[in-house]
C-alpha cells in the first residue's frame, strides 16, 4: 500500500521524534560511562566534541557541494554555544559540585515549560489548554521518575550550585529559540559541525580553567574509547542531529515536549546496560510522562496541517479545512 504525502510526512516526523528521544537519552548513559574513564570529565567532553566536529567537517567536505553562507555558519555556532556548550557545562558542573543527578534531571525536565512560554512569545507557537495540561502531567511523571534519586546534601553543596541546572535550562531554550528564529536551513552536517566546534571551544576553555593541571591529553584505555565512542556516535551525532532535524520539522514547543520522555527512557537504558531497573514508583512516573506527552503533542504536526489546507484549496468546491481547538 502506497502512503499518501501526509502519511509520509507523519511517518518521518514520528521516526525523527523516536530517534531524538532514544539518542538524547543516551547522553545520560554516556555520562555514567564517562565517570569510568581515566580522563577528567571536562577534558573528556572537550575531546569528544573536537573528534565529532572533525568527523562532521570531513562529511561536509565530501557531501556538501554548494557554498555555505558565512553568516549562517556563525549563527549555527552561536546556537551550539547555547544548546551544547552551555547546557552540558551547567549540568556537569552541578554534578561535580554535589547536586544530585535526580534533582539535576528534574530541573532540566522543566525545560519544555520554559520553551513553551518563550516560543509562544517569540515564535508564535502557542500551546492549547490541553497541551498545557499535558505538560503539567508529564512534569509530575518526570518528578516520580527521579524521586528515588534525590539525595540529601547535608549542607555540603553551595547554594549557588543549584542555579547551574537552571542555567542549563535557560541555555538550551535560548539556543532552540535562536535556531527557530534564524532558520539558517544549512545542511544538517554543516549545522552540526559548527555547533560541535562551539561546544569544543566551551569545554576546552572550561577544562583549562577549572580542572587541576588544565586540559588533560587524551588517553587510550578501553574505558576512554568506550565513553568517547558512545558520546560521539549516539549522543553527539544522534542526539544533536535528531535535535536539529526535530526543531526544523516540529518547532521548539513540540521538540521540547519530547524531552519529557528522556528520563523514563534513560531508566530503560540503565536497566539494559547496568541492571539498574526502575522501581514501581518510577514505572508509574514513566506512564504519567507518556500520557502527558501524548496530550501535549495532540493534533497534527504543522507540516501535515499545511499540506491538508493545500489539498482542500486544490479541490474545486471543497469546504475549507478547519482545525479543531484540540489540534492547534
Q: What is the number of alpha carbons within 13 Å of residue 228 lying toward its C-beta?
A: 22
Helix (H, G, I), strand (E, B) or coil at 256: helix
Domain-located, residue 305: no
pTM: 0.74
Domain-located, residue 216: yes
| Cβ(130)–Cβ(293) below 8 Å | no
Q: Where are the alpha helices (DSSP H) in 39-187?
A: 41-63, 70-80, 87-96, 101-108, 111-122, 129-147, 163-182
Please give the radius of gyration of the chain, using alpha carbons only, rounded to the nearest integer.
20
Q: In the chain, how many domains are there?
A: 1
- What are the Cα distances from residue 268, in Å, to 263, 271, 274? 9, 5, 10
Q: For the segment 223-238, what is each residue's pLDDT rounded down to a tens digit?
A: 888 889 999 999 899 9
Query: 230: domain range?
Result: 12-297
Domain-located, residue 314: no
Angle between helices 111-122 and 241-258 (to 10 degrees): 100
Query: Residue 261 gets which letter from DSSP?
Result: G
How many other C-beta atoms are found inside a 10 Å radius of the C-beta of residue 71? 10
Is pLDDT above 80 for 61? yes
End-to-end CA distance of the chain, in Å? 30
Q: For the segment 268-294, what is each residue's pLDDT rounded down to a tens digit?
A: 887 888 787 777 877 788 788 778 877
pLDDT at position 48: 93
How many angstroms separate the CA atoms of 122 and 145, rounded? 31
| Cβ(20)–Cβ(321) below 8 Å | no
Range among 85-94, 99-108, 302-311 with highest mean pLDDT value: 85-94
pLDDT at position 268: 83
pLDDT at position 321: 34
pLDDT at position 257: 80
Q: For the segment 15-53, what is each residue's pLDDT rounded down to a tens digit?
A: 999 999 999 888 878 877 887 888 898 999 999 999 999
Q: Which residue has the cell 512516573?
A: 285
Amino acid at each position: 500500500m502506497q502512503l499518501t504525502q501526509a502519511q509520509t510526512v507523519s511517518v518521518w516526523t514520528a521516526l525523527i521524534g523516536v530517534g531524538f528521544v532514544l539518542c538524547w537519552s543516551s547522553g545520560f548513559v554516556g555520562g555514567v560511562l564517562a565517570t569510568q574513564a581515566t580522563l577528567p570529565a571536562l577534558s573528556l567532553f572537550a575531546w569528544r566534541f573536537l573528534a565529532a566536529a572533525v568527523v562532521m567537517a570531513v562529511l561536509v567536505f565530501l557531501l556538501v557541494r554548494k557554498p555555505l553562507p558565512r553568516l549562517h555558519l556563525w549563527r549555527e555556532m552561536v546556537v551550539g554555544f547555547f544548546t551544547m556548550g552551555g547546557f552540558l557545562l551547567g549540568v556537569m558542573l552541578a554534578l561535580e559540585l554535589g547536586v544530585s543527578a535526580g534533582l539535576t534531571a528534574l530541573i532540566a525536565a522543566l525545560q519544555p515549560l520554559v520553551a513553551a512560554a518563550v516560543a509562544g512569545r517569540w515564535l508564535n507557537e502557542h500551546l492549547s489548554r490541553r497541551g498545557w495540561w499535558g505538560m503539567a502531567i508529564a512534569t509530575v511523571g518526570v518528578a516520580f521518575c527521579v524521586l528515588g534519586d534525590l539525595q540529601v546534601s547535608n549542607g555540603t553543596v553551595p547554594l549557588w550550585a543549584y542555579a547551574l541546572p537552571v542555567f542549563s535550562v535557560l541555555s538550551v531554550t535560548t539556543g532552540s529559540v535562536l535556531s527557530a528564529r534564524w532558520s539558517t536551513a544549512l545542511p544538517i552536517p554543516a549545522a552540526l559541525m559548527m555547533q560541535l566546534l562551539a561546544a569544543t571551544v566551551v569545554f576546552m576553555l572550561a577544562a583549562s580553567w577549572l580542572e587541576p593541571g588544565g586540559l588533560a591529553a587524551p588517553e587510550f584505555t578501553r574505558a576512554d574509547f568506550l565513553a568517547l565512542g558512545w558520546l560521539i556516535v549516539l549522543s553527539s551525532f544522534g542526539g544533536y542531529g535528531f535535535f536539529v532535524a526535530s526543531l526544523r520539522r516540529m518547532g521548539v514547543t513540540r521538540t521540547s515536549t519530547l524531552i519529557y520522555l528522556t528520563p523514563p527512557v534513560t531508566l530503560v537504558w540503565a536497566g539494559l546496560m547496568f541492571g539498574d531497573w526502575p522501581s514501581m514508583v518510577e514505572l508509574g512516573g514513566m506512564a504519567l510522562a507518556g500520557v502527558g506527552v501524548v496530550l501535549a503533542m495532540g493534533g497534527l504536526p504543522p507540516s501535515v496541517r499545511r499540506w491538508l489546507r493545500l489539498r482542500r484549496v486544490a479541490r474545486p468546491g471543497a469546504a475549507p479545512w478547519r482545525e479543531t481547538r484540540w489540534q492547534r
